[in-house]
Amino acid sequence: MTIKIYGPTASRAARALWIVHELGIPYEHIAVEMKDLKNPDYLKVNPNGKVPAMVDGDFKLFESMAINLYLAAKHGKDGFMPSSLEDQALCNQWSYWGMTELEKPLLTILIDMFMTPPDKRKPEAVAEAQKMLPKPLAVLNGALEGRDYLLGSTFTVADLNLASILSWAKPIKFDFSPFPNVNAWLDRCLSRPAFKAARGSK
């Protein structure tokens, strides 16, 4: 059965598009535009009027991390969704941690830099967001010491979810030199063919 992924590629829907490519899940991409999010038909899919959303048969789901963790649990193979409860909890931990510790400051900088007219930009907000990043990145750098991926030598849904957030650091040209483990890990994740295929989705 083909699942449906709703949302433009340049949104959090990119995470779901990455995972369907990573796992070879048949899918239909419905690139619903922001102006259509209040359409009654779409509100039946996601009553919040936001993206992404997913439909799998009769099952509907919103929130990008919930979608990815569901798809990893249902379709994951070769350790992509680990079998032990402890490692599954670590996948949840790193996914939620990325959203609480990194997503807001990165998005603040990205929106100000690329989506805000010059006269509306808020350099003080960007400066504050920049200050928020070193502490969590130091935590991540330590967690990656001596390992290729978050849980060891295998790429898992934890890496995909967290790298999908940190990928926003690339267009803002964030300086990762104080965090070499993070830099090498992120490049490793973003070099995967599935990530590149997802970015080419329409």
Number of H helices, E strands in the chain: 10, 4
Q: Which pLDDT belongs to residue 39?
A: 92
> Cis (ω within 30 of 0) for the bond into 117?
no
Q: Which pLDDT belongs to residue 123?
A: 82
CB 90 within 8 A of CB 69: no
**Taking 70 as the threshold, does the pLDDT of residue 10 lie above it?**
yes
CB 163 within 8 A of CB 18: no
Q: Which pLDDT belongs to residue 20?
A: 97
pLDDT more than 90, % of the chain: 81
Fold type of domain 85-197: Glutathione S-transferase Yfyf (Class Pi); Chain A, domain 2 (1.20.1050)
pLDDT tens readout for residues 140-179: 999 999 999 999 999 999 999 999 999 999 998 999 999 9
Please give the DSSP secondary-structure letter assigned to residue 47: T
d(CA 6, CA 16): 9
Q: Where are the domains of the chain?
A: 3-78, 85-197
SS (H, E, C) 78-127: CCCCCCCHHHHHHHHHHHHHHHHHHHHHHHHHHHHHHCCCHHHCCHHHHH
CATH code of 3-78, in short, is 3.40.30.10
pLDDT tens readout for residues 60-98: 999 999 999 999 999 988 789 999 999 999 999 999 999
Q: Which pLDDT belongs to residue 140?
A: 98
Q: Which pLDDT belongs to residue 199?
A: 84
pLDDT more than 70, % of the chain: 99
Do the domains 85-197 and 3-78 match in fold? no
**Taking 60 as the threshold, does the pLDDT of residue 202 lie above it?**
no
